[in-house]
Amino acid sequence: MIALHSEKQVICTNLGPCPIIRTPRLLLRAPRPEDADAIAASLSDFSVARMLSRVPAPFHRQDAVDWLKQQAASNLPDWNFAICDTDGRHLGTVSIELRHGQWHLGYWLNRSAWNRGLMTEAAGNALKAFFERMPNAKVHSGMFSDNAGSLRVQQKLGFTITGCRDMFSVARNAMVIHIDTVVTTRDFGQPVRN
């Protein structure tokens, strides 16, 4: 077990391997080399890439291959899930990563799968599995201020807004306002009430 010490808490990173999660409409599993074409097709869509901070535009198949190789070689405690439909078609990813001593949720979905509640289902089930292993953890996330769909997903999952800041978007090659959010086990799954 790895423990990272901060002034106020000890963060344990004994997550174990990325589990396989089945939901009524989805299969969440570790990414595979054969996902490269689907990842490249999804992230070459600027509508998807522009909402992510670290994805370049244009995005090429080799970018997907490089990311998949990095995931396969990594010994970090992160969970990176491929989101697949029940026919096995790759739709996107959801990740829970340890960055700078804090857990972070990130995700993206192919545009053809938008507006069907699939990301809420995928991220919700990934977080449920995470909080079962890490019940005292806090998970940070956020979205660019022009991403209303991502804000709705996070509100459904119980995230609360903690602030905003400028963040560089590689795809846009510009600074963009980023809304920061956080969720704890206690708040998870509780919709934000206005």
Q: DSSP letters of the chain?
A: --EEE-SS-EEE----SPPPEE-SSEEEE---GGGHHHHHHHHTSHHHHTT-SS--SS--HHHHHHHHHHHHH--SS-EEEEEEETT--EEEEEEEEEETTEEEEEEEE-GGGTTSSHHHHHHHHHHHHHHHH-TT-EEEEEEETT-HHHHHHHHHHT-EEEEEEEEEETTTTEEEEEEEEEEETTTTT-PPP-
**So what's the pLDDT on residue 171?**
96
**So what's the pLDDT on residue 53?**
94
**pLDDT by residue (tens digit) across 74-127?**
777 889 999 999 999 999 999 999 988 999 999 999 999 999 999 999 999 999
pLDDT tier at 16, thresholds 50, 70, 90: confident
The pLDDT of 59-71, averaged and rounded, is 93
Give the separation between CA 130 and CA 125, rounded to whole angstroms: 9
Give the separation between CA 42 and CA 36, rounded to whole angstroms: 10
User: In angstroms, what is the C-alpha Rg of the chain?
Assistant: 16
The pLDDT of 41-52, averaged and rounded, is 96
CATH architecture of the domain with residue range 17-184: 3-Layer(aba) Sandwich (3.40)
**pLDDT by residue (tens digit) across 118-152?**
999 999 999 999 999 999 999 999 999 999 999 99
Q: Is the pLDDT of residue 1 over 50?
A: no
Query: At a CB cut-off of 8 Å and minimum separation 6, what does 173 contact?
Result: none
Q: Is the pLDDT of residue 50 over 60?
A: yes
Cis amide bond preceding 33, omega within 30: no
Percent of the chain with pLDDT over 70: 90
**So what's the pLDDT on residue 190?**
65
**Measuring CA to CA, how many Å separate 136 from each of 90, 120, 133, 162, 184?**
32, 22, 9, 19, 7
**So what's the pLDDT on residue 113?**
95
**So what's the pLDDT on residue 29?**
96
pTM over 0.95: no
User: Position 103: which residue type?
Assistant: W
